[in-house]
Amino acid sequence: MKKAVILVIVLIVVGIGLFYVYRLFFSPERINILGRTIETTLGFENGIVEFYSCGKLIKRFLKVEKLTTAKGTYEKQTRPYRFGFGYIDINLDGILNKNEKEKGKVYFEIPSQRDYIYYDAKFIPEE
């Protein structure tokens, strides 16, 4: 009888320990961080962000590596905008022209109420 009680207690302690190890290494937050790290490391840098107003394309950014949701430094809350870096497509032709590339990547912010599309292009033509 004593052996059975000890065995049950040991199994409960081991189960709780395994649960905490699982939560530490395999929580959804950790898996999300791992996925972002892999994407950043592999260099998915052919993202395109397009801004629309009344259904019309008004601005486009090429070779965007990723969009990041802004977080407060001390509040630890997400802010109502996203940001990224990319080449601005001045003439909206979808081609990275020489003068656009010379200007370099620019920082941009996307307010939460803005209409935009972010997608991965396998290839972005350059002039």
- What is the structure's pLDDT at 39? 62
- What is the structure's pLDDT at 32? 73
| Residue from 16, 74, 114, 110 nearest 24 by CA | 16
Q: Let me know how long the chain is.
A: 127
Beta strands in 22-104 (DSSP E): 47-53, 56-64, 68-71, 78-88
The verdict on pTM exceeding 0.85 is: no
- What is the structure's pLDDT at 51? 92
User: Where along the chain do its domains lie?
Assistant: 1-42, 44-127
The predicted-structure confidence for 39-96, as pLDDT tens digits, reads as follows 655 556 678 899 998 889 999 999 887 777 777 767 777 788 888 889 999 999 988 9
- What is the structure's pLDDT at 21? 81
Q: How confident is the prediction for the chain on average, in pLDDT?
A: 82
